Amino acid sequence: MTKCAVVTGATGRAGPLWVSELNDMGYSVFDLNLPEYDVSNLDSVRHFQKRLERRGCVPDVIVNNAAIDNPPGTDASFFGNFERILAVNLTGAVNVCNVFIPAMIKNGGGVIVNIGSVMGFIGADWRNYGGSFEKPVSYNVSKAALVQLSRSVTVQYGRHNIRCVTIAFGPLDVGLPEEFKAKFLKNVPLGRAISEESWRAALRFAVQCPEFAGQAVLVDGGYCAW
């Protein structure tokens, strides 16, 4: 039987990476993605689940990757866009869990991988950013909350062989603004951003390690080790 996986936000910056890695691992991957489907809308997620069900697919793996942010170079403020960022980054992940877990239980279990961030473990250092930019606190709050979501889902549904985990990362070494990169890496013991291979390896570990459950793995080059 073909293994099935769902990736939310599959066309974003990291989404194609997850799709590629899951394909390499033998999964048929379905993307829950705008504009057709919106993770922040529970009915939209239900519609997507019903579509997969008609195709005989119950996901063995779900990657909650969908997220929005106001990155450097945009007109962002510390408290700006709070509700919308949480609606996508946190409520979206909750909606996906809510809709798919019952079918996963009937199917014998599975793993839900929440994509976190180093920003879920620290406060954003304003000195890393130029000009008047302020890192939106809602992004950090949403990524921290995913760690607790992973714990809670695992405790509630682990008896049904549902694992929920968080894999969190420092900045991916692709397309980083040079000014931000230079400032950020001064405080990274390894002195480099996170490679695509590290992102892929973390996903493989999350999917393939059968007792990795309810916890977070942080791949940050040592940034939080100070």
Q: Are 6 and 56 in contact (CB under 8 A)?
A: no
Q: Report the DSSP pairing between strands 61-64 and 110-115.
A: parallel
Residue 69 CA to residue 222 CA, distance in Å, equals: 23
- Kindly list the distances between the CA atom of residue 100 and the CA atoms of 35, 84, 113, in Å, as whole numbers in the listed order: 20, 23, 13
Instruction: Catalytic residue, from 27, 129, 139, 157: name it.
Output: 139
139 is catalytic: yes
DSSP code at position 194? B
Element (H, E) at 141: helix 137-157
List, in order, residues 6 or more apart from 194 with CB less than 8 Å away. Answer: 169, 170, 171, 172, 173, 219, 220, 221
What angle, rounded to 10 degrees, do the helices at 42-54 and 92-106 form? 30
Neighbours of 21 (CB within 10 A): 22
Judged by phi (left if over 0) then psi (alpha if -120 to 50, else beta), residue 59 lies in beta
Give phi and psi for 61, each to the nearest 5.
-135, 135
Which are the catalytic amino acids? 139
